[in-house]
Structure 1
Amino acid sequence: MPAAPDRSAVAVVAYYFARFDKGAIQRLGYSTWREAYADVSAKLDVKGSYVKNRRDGFDPLFAWRRGWWQRPLSTSEAHIHGLLADVDEEALRTLVARLLDGPDAPEVRLLDNLLINAPAESKPRQLQTTNQRSITGAVAENLFIELHSAGRSSFTGSLIDRRQHGDGYDFLLQNDGHPDQYIELKGTAGQSGGVSFTPKEWRVAQSVGIRYWLVIISSVHDEPSLQVINNPAASLQPRQHFYTVIQTSWQVPATQLATIPSHL
């Protein structure tokens, strides 16, 4: 039990309750709101009424909530909604479950920094990292197009660019008489490095199975090399991470990639 009430964690749990209503408590294994409030209050060291009030504070956001819908959102409630609005139900439920597991979860520290005392320089540093990854990924994608045009991509068939469609993969590979194949490109600046999947990329990888291919191009700015992994959802075991924006991805460490043979 936390030494002091963890109000940032309560706020996220309350937001999840408000946004997904009865479905939220059912997916977390509770039978009634009373049971949910009692368990959350015990784990986060606050009164059950406080959890309920925090949930009701988000009423103006959701049509199915009829409580305090006429009261304007507070600054903190609007901030939380802005951070979590694009996080899907499964990912948000995972975050809530980890927050309820105990005060030592790294996500608790993340929220403390994010909602209470985030340093002013954290956002620029994160934006710099994100931009660098985007640049590396774009270079890898263009390299793959060049390699495929030259017949050196390890694939045959027509390559359809789907990068701007947000489909959960970068390229569709089509061959007459064969099922479509889905190709996701990742790039690393050095010879080793982990990769990240967005929630949608990982869901599509899980859904299409052996028709999904992960292509990793290492050392994109120097001497590029390819690693091709078929059905990554079956051969990789990433852990879901949450970030301070709040975004989530499935991360695969470099040590795990090194153990997977390339299907060249």
Structure 2
Amino acid sequence: MSDRQRLLTVAFYLAKFNDEAVRNLGYVNFREAFNELGAKLDYSPNSVKNRRDDFDPLFGHRAGWHQIELSKSNLEIVEAFDHLSEEALRAIVFDLLDESSSKQGVLLADIVQGRQAPSYTTRGVTGKKAEAFFINWFQDHFPQDNLIDTRDFGCGYDFGVIGSNEVYEVKGLSGIDGGVLFTDKEWKVAAELQDEYHLVLVKDCFGEEPTVEIYSNPHEKFSPKKQVSTTININWGISVSEFNELDKE
């Protein structure tokens, strides 16, 4: 793993888990964390802070650099680590900060090195902003209808409509141009529902006047390219000796 990838991984951990991350790394506050981590990573404290700020819009603790699209290298870190628990990612961070622990760095390099980042904006950067804007937009344009929020249900779309089969999947762009990413589940449901499935594209999410474009039956209209990515999974193993020792007590 390169020095920059180590920096980005640590910065991502700080952005995602915020004050909890600072405490669990053993620091009193972010200032101390930036100073100490910068020294360990051979970067300036401001570099650690700025790279944390890159990831901040994903998690809402701070505004961060929300005006800027995540870079390819930043997207690789998000894709590799976003699914991990605090404890699991903390363990990786400690390994990366430990100069004597090179094995973990080699493993992470195998996962992260050379992966192609897509040319879309990640959901976390603009997704929440786009969804909030769409809710208000929908109420203004369809006052007779009521949305059903299904974002946490894993349905393959973000919103349904009471008394209707119409569903909406909302994607956001920080600018006026860009592509979007569908999960395999979303694309499968789009194929099943056809004309009842609507892709809502909210452009210029952080601008003064975002715009909304709606594409019905996106599975029929578009021909996306499949993207396969590798993720890191952490398992926690309890050895038989530990069980035996506990049984002796």
- TM range, smaller chain: 0.3 to 0.5
* Structure with a larger share of its residues in strand: 1
TM-score, L = length of structure 2: 0.46
TM-score, L = length of structure 1: 0.44
Higher relative contact order (CA 8 A, sep 6+): 2
